[in-house]
Amino acid sequence: VATVAEPAHAATSVTINGASGGRTFDGVGAISGGGGNSRLLIDYPEPERGQILDYLFRPGYGASLQILKTEIGGDTNSTSGAEPSHEHTRGDLNCNRGYEWWLMEQAKARNPAIKLYGLAWGAPGWIGNGNFWSTDMINYLVSWLGCAKQHGLTIDYLGGWNERGYNVSWYEQLRSALNSNGYGGVKIVAADSDWTVAGDVDSNPAFASSVDIIGTHYPCGYRSAQTTCTVPSSATSSGKQLWASENGSDDYNAGANAMARGINRGYIDGKMTAYLNWPVVAAVTPNLPYPTMGLALTPEPWSGSYTIGKNAWVMAQTSQFTAPGWQYLDSSSGYIGGNRGNGSYVSLKSTNKSDYSTVIETMDAGAAQTLNFNVTGGLSTGTVHVWSTNVNSANPADYFVHAADITPANGSFSLTVQPGRVYTVTTTTGQGKGTAAGPARGAMSLPYSDSFDSDAAGTEAKYLMDWQGAFEVASCGGGRTGMCVRQMSAQAPITWDPLTDPHTLLGDLSWGNYTVSSDVLLEKSGYAELLGRANTQSYSGAAGLNAYHLRVSDTGAWSILSSNTSGNVTTLAHGTTSALGTNRWHTLSLAFSGSTITASVDGAAVGSAADYGYAAGQVGYATSQGETAQFDNLAITPGP
C-alpha cells in the first residue's frame, strides 16, 4: 500500500465570535419572472411537479429558497416570454391569471416562512396612457396586492420597474398608497436597476422614508464576468438594507461558481444581505432565450423529465443553514488569510444567539488550506456538522454531501478545505438532500390536439408559451359554446423588451412534416396567424422568430410568410380569399412536407410555397397588435 504524504497546508485562524457586529441577513432566493421562464413548470405531471417544487422550496430538501420574487405580469415580453396581467384592460381585474399565484402558493405551502417579492417588467398599454410612472400603475400594484390577499398570500417586498431606473415622486406616492390601503407592512425596494438610486436615497429624506431596501442588479458583475462586488459610499451611508436583488443569469450547473462567490462576497465586499438568482427554473423550450438558466432544468412537461442543477446545491449551502433575521458576524467573515484568491467565508448567528453557521467558498483557491476555528462570544461550542459541495465535479453525488461531525475541543476545531468547493460548518441540524428523480427525456409526440374546453377561464392553455401579448383561456365568442384561447392584450403594452406582434408557441423543435390547423375568429379588423416550424426566437434587436406564418386578415387577404430572428419577413405566397369578416369562425391550416408549404382556409387550399429554410419546429398563434382574436380546436397531425 503506497503512502501519500499529506501536503503541508497553509493554515488560517478564524474566530467565530458571537459578539461581533453585523447586518441582519434577509435571505437567498430566486426570481420567477422577467420573464416566462417558469412557464412549463405548472404543466408538469405529478409526481414530478411536486418533486421539483420540493427541490425548490421544501426546507431541508433542496435549494430551500428563503425569498421568492415573482413578476407582476404585463402582457409583454420580459426576456424568455410574456407573463399575463391581472388587468389586461382597465377594470378587467382577474386574480387567477397565469402561474405566479400558483407558484407562490406552492412555495408557501412548503415553507410558510418564505418571503415574497413582486416586481413589474412591463405593463398593459392602458396604464397611464403608456406611462409607467403613473397613478394608474400605483393603483395597478395595489390591485395586485389585493389579489395576493385573496390568495392568502402576504407580500413582503414590492419593487418599481425592473431595470428602468426610478421616479422619486412616484416611489413616494407608492409608499403613501400602500400605507392608506392597508399595506403599511410591505417593504419597498428601489430601484431594481443600478446603484444610481442610492445617491438620492442618501440625500433626500422624503425619498428615503419611502424606500426600505436598495436593490441593485448584478452588483458583482454580470454572469461569470465577476470582479469585486462594489457599492457606492452613498448606499452604505444611507443606512438601508442593500440587496443583490437580481444576480445569476447563468446555466443551472455552470453558474454555481459565480453563485458561490456572489453570495459570500456580496456581503464581504458590499454588505449586501440578499442574493436573488435569475431565474428560478428553466421551464422553457430550448429555442427561447436563456433556456438553461436557473436552479433546475424543467423544459419537458410532456416527458416529466427534470434535472436539479448544481446551482440549487450551492444555494442550499447557505439557505439550509440560516434564516432571514439571522445576523452576520462581520469580524468572522472575510477572505481566507485576507487574500481573495484563497476564497472567502461568512459567519452568521441564529436569532437564538447560540447557533451559528459559517459558509466557506474556495472557488479560486489553488490548493488545500487548513482553517483553525475558535468559537467564542456566547455561541455554542457543541458538535459541528459539515456539509460540502464540490463545484468542480460534474457528479451530483458530490453536491451537498454530509461529512463527519466534528467535536470542538475548548471551542476549537480544524477543517481542511479543498479548492473549488463550498463548505458549511454549523451547529444547526435538519439539513437534507432530496432523493426523488424524474424519468428520461423524451420528445412530445404527435398527433396532438386541444379543444381548450377542459381549461378554466383565465388560465394559459397547456404547453402554450406566450412570447408577446396574453393568450388566455376564455369563453368562446361568435355563438360558439365551450372554451377558446383569446389574445387579451387590446393595445400595445408598456414594453420591457422589443415590441413584436402578440404570439405564442407550443411544442417540440423536432417536428418536421406536419399539418397544424385551428379555428380562428377575429374580433376586430386585423389579422390572425398560424405559425409552423418555429424555432429560434431572438430577444434583442427586432426580437424576430425563425418561422413560417399563415396570415389571414378580416378582408380575406392571406399570405404565407417566412420570418427570421433579425426581424425580416419575406412573403412566399399571397392572395385573397372570401372575406373572413369579424366575429365569425373560420378554420386555418398550414401543412409542411419537405419544402412544400400549403395553406388552407375553411378546408380549401388557397395557396402554397416552396421553401426549406426551416425544416422543423413548433406551432404557434399570432395576431396583429391589439387584435383580440380567438382560437379553438388546435390540431397537429404528422404528415401533410
As measured in angstroms, the least distance from the Cβ of 290 to ligand 147 is 6
163 is catalytic: yes
Residue 246 or 460: the one with the smaller Cβ distance to ligand 147 is 246
Residue 31 or 599: the one with the smaller Cβ distance to ligand 147 is 31
Residue 215 binds ligand 147, judged by CB under 6 A: no
Q: What are 450's strand-pairing partners? A: 634
Binding mask 264-283 for ligand 147 (x = CB under 6 A): --------------x-----
In whole angstroms, what is the distance from residue 423 CA to residue 415 CA? 10
Residue 162 binds ligand 147, judged by CB under 6 A: yes
Residue 64 or 253: the one with the smaller Cβ distance to ligand 147 is 253
As measured in angstroms, the least distance from the Cβ of 381 to ligand 147 is 44
Residue 612 binds ligand 147, judged by CB under 6 A: no
Residue 247 or 598: the one with the smaller Cβ distance to ligand 147 is 247
Binding mask 248-267 for ligand 147 (x = CB under 6 A): -x------------------
Annotated catalytic residue within 246, 460, 523, 627:
246
In whole angstroms, what is the distance from residue 232 CA to residue 145 CA? 32
In whole angstroms, what is the distance from residue 139 CA to residue 130 CA? 14
Residue 119 or 483: the one with the smaller Cβ distance to ligand 147 is 119
Residue 294 or 617: the one with the smaller Cβ distance to ligand 147 is 294
Short-list 638, 620, 490, CA closest to 561? 620
User: Among 79, 311, 350, 424, which residue interacts with ligand 147 (rule: CB under 6 A)?
Assistant: 79
Cell triple for 239: 443606512
- Kindly indicate which of the ranges 1-9, 144-152, 214-222, 556-564 contains the residues binding ligand 147, using the contact rule CB under 6 A: 214-222
246 is catalytic: yes
Q: Is 602 left (phi over 0), alpha (psi -120 to 50) or beta?
A: left
As measured in angstroms, the least distance from the Cβ of 70 to ligand 147 is 12
Residue 26 or 246: the one with the smaller Cβ distance to ligand 147 is 246
Burial of 154 (0-12, 13-18, 19+ CB in 10 A): middle
As measured in angstroms, the least distance from the Cβ of 497 to ligand 147 is 8
Q: Are residues 636 and 502 in contact, defined by beta-carbon separation less than 8 angstroms? A: no
For 34-72, letters b (16+ CB in 10 Å) and e give bbbbbbbbbbbeeebbebbbbbbbbbebbbbbbbbbbbb
Q: Is 34 left (phi over 0), alpha (psi -120 to 50) or beta?
A: left
User: Among 69, 110, 217, 486, which residue interacts with ligand 147 (rule: CB under 6 A)?
Assistant: 217
As measured in angstroms, the least distance from the Cβ of 157 to ligand 147 is 16
As measured in angstroms, the least distance from the Cβ of 294 to ligand 147 is 11
Q: Is 526 left (phi over 0), alpha (psi -120 to 50) or beta?
A: left
Binding mask 305-344 for ligand 147 (x = CB under 6 A): ----------------------------------------
CA 426 to chain centre: 30
Burial of 292 (0-12, 13-18, 19+ CB in 10 A): middle
Residue 279 or 343: the one with the smaller Cβ distance to ligand 147 is 279
In a 13 Å sphere around the CA of 294, the CA atoms on its Cβ side amount to 32
Residue 222 binds ligand 147, judged by CB under 6 A: yes
Q: Are residues 507 and 618 in contact, defined by beta-carbon separation less than 8 angstroms? A: yes
Short-list 393, 381, 382, CA closest to 422? 393
| Residue nearest ligand 147, Cβ-based | 34
Residue 218 binds ligand 147, judged by CB under 6 A: yes
In a 13 Å sphere around the CA of 542, the CA atoms on its Cβ side amount to 11
As measured in angstroms, the least distance from the Cβ of 116 to ligand 147 is 18
As measured in angstroms, the least distance from the Cβ of 169 to ligand 147 is 24
Q: List binders of ligand 147 among 26-65 (CB under 6 A).
A: 34
Please report, for residues 84, 89, 149, 504, 599, the alpha-carbon distance to residue 615 in angstroms, rounded to integers and kept in the order given. 31, 39, 48, 20, 17
Write out the residues near ligand 147 by the rule CB under 6 A. 34, 78-79, 162-163, 217-218, 222, 246, 249, 278, 290
Residues noted as catalytic: 163, 246
